[in-house]
Amino acid sequence: MRVMVGATLVATGLLLSACGDKDAQRAQADANAVGFVPPSVTSRLDFGASMERRFRTLDRNADDRITKDELPAPNARIKAFDRNHDGVITAIEWSEGTLAWFDRMDLNHDGTVTSEERAESRKR
Ligand SMILES: [Ca+2]
Ligand SMILES: [Ca+2]
């Protein structure tokens, strides 16, 4: 009898954990459906570093300038970085532009941008 109970408990445990997996999968599917992005915090330093990498990727001929033909698609935000409107975005224009963009997202000016701040700035 004790063996039976034990086996039942094990079976129940297996069933429960299987359900747990399913619930987690469903939660993930629901999250994907609404475009949920897990909360994140980005520091100004990390943001700057990742934007620097982005610049290097876009600047295909590595001349420290992003020219029109190097832009992936017409992009108003990137165009706005071109402060002297010569159609070219220099490394300096890029880093000033991206950091100014970061500072606009950093609503409470603590040097980090949370996913909430990012979402809020997207609404504006
Ligand atoms: Ca270039
Ligand atoms: Ca320029």
What dihedral angle (degrees, nearest 10) is formed by the CA atoms of 76, 50, 105, 69?
A: 0
Ligand nearest the Cα atom of residue 57: 1
- Distance in Å, CA 20 to ligand 1 centroid: 51
- Amino acid 33: pLDDT: 76
- Distance in Å, CA 75 to ligand 2 centroid: 15
| Pairwise CA distance, residues 48 & 64, whole Å | 16
Q: Measure Cα distances from 119 to 43, 75, 107, 112, 115 in Å.
A: 16, 19, 11, 14, 6
Q: Which residue has the tokens 């590595």?
A: 62
Report residues near ion ligand 2: CB below 5 Å. 82, 84, 86, 88
- Distance in Å, CA 105 to ligand 1 centroid: 27
Which pLDDT band holds residue 88 (cuts at 50, 70, 90)?
A: very high
The model carries a pTM of 0.66
The percentage of the chain sitting over the pLDDT mark of 90, rounded to a whole number, equals: 57
Residue 66: in which H helix or E strand, if any? strand 65-66
Which pLDDT band holds residue 37 (cuts at 50, 70, 90)?
A: low
Residue 12 has pLDDT above 60, yes or no: no
The closest alpha carbon to 87, from 63, 64, 71, 99, belongs to: 71
The closest alpha carbon to 67, from 49, 85, 52, 88, belongs to: 88
- Amino acid 16: pLDDT: 52
For residue 22, what are the contacts with CB-CB under 8 A and spacing of at least 6?
Answer: none
Which pLDDT band holds residue 108 (cuts at 50, 70, 90)?
A: very high
Computed over every residue of the chain, the mean pLDDT equals 85
The percentage of the chain sitting over the pLDDT mark of 70, rounded to a whole number, equals: 81
